[in-house]
Structure formats: structure tokens, C-alpha cells
Amino acid sequence: TLLKHFWDTDQGGLFSTADYHEKLPFRKKPLYDGAIPSGNSVAAWNLLRLARITGDPALESKVEIIGKASAGLVNRMPSSYAFYMTVIDYLLGPSQEIVIAGERHAQDTRELLQVLSGRFHPRMSLLLIPEGDKNSKIREIAPFTRDFTGQKGKTIVYICSGNVCRKPATGIAETMQLLDSIDT
């Protein structure tokens, strides 16, 4: 819906109003990040996260188009595009897709989710695959998770980057040690 109704097919980027909105003399396409990040910055970040999770290169291509369309503005005054610079960092740097496979309400799963979600890592996507849920919507969206499972009563963490997954980890200490060893 976002790309269908807000995407600027001529110059790239996203308008702040949909194509079905009342006719305006000018459709704004803000990128400036003030106290609140711009819609284009947030949309680019979400599109990039979706691209990395789903493996859909068309979504990543949209982020690159937004970058090319706004490069002149960002080059002139990068401090005015702080959140967008996070998107550029995510696009250029290695990202991690972290999959937690385990019983949703188990203590170790909850603790891992809490520790990982509390850690600021702008190039990290965190997914939960509930144990025993072979038909999870996440498995449809992120096909690389198809074979990821927990071990009866034990939560397993899979850390992937660039379509390669490391040896699975268990527990907070092992997961954090593995994350800290990754070149960010």
C-alpha cells in the first residue's frame, strides 16, 4: 500500500500524501529529520529491514532510489538527516537477522527477547519463531527461517548476516558473546 499510493514514480522517494488524496498544488516529499524523523527516513529504514528479512531485492532497490534522489540534500547538510544517515549505515554495513526459536512464554525466550530488544543496534532485525509452529507467518515472510527450530524446552538463537547463518547459540551469555564477535 505504501509503495502503491505514496511512491514518486518520476523521481523516487515517498510523498506525504497518497495519490488518492484530494488534489493539492504540490505534494510534499520531506526527508529532513528534525526532532521527529521524516516519513521518508522511517519508510526507507522499514523497507530495508523488510528487504533483509524477506530477501526481496526490489525493496532494497527502493531504498537505493530514495538515496539517489536525496543525495544532494544529504551531502550539503548531513546533520539535518540524522535518522536517514542510520539508514545509509544499515544499507552499507553488515546487518544481522536474529531469529529466536523457542516457546514464546518460556523464561529463557522472554529474557533473550528483553536483552536483545533493549540493545541499540540499528542494523539488527529480531524475529521470534514459536516452538512447534511450523506454519508461522514469519516463516512465510522470512523463508530463510524455515528450518530453524528450538529444542524441546530450550530456546535457540540463530544469527544470520549476508545470507549466512552462524552456528546456533543457546542462552544470553553465548548469544551476546557471538554478537560481540561479529564485525559491526
Cα(120)–Cα(153) distance, integer angstroms: 28
| 152 pLDDT above the threshold of 80 | no
pTM value? 0.84
Cα(98)–Cα(83) distance, integer angstroms: 22
Q: List all residues 6 or more positions away from 142 whose beta carbon is below 8 Å from its beta carbon.
A: 53, 54, 55, 97, 99, 127
Q: What pLDDT is stored for residue 134 in this prediction? A: 66
Mean residue pLDDT of the chain comes to 88
Q: How confident is the model at residue 87 (pLDDT cuts 50, 70, 90)?
A: very high
% of the chain exceeding 90 in pLDDT: 38
DSSP 145: G
| 183 pLDDT above the threshold of 70 | no
Q: How confident is the model at residue 135 (pLDDT cuts 50, 70, 90)?
A: low
DSSP per-residue letters across 64-112: HHHHHHHHHHHHH-GGGGHHHHHHHHHHHS--EEEEEEE-TTSHHHHHH
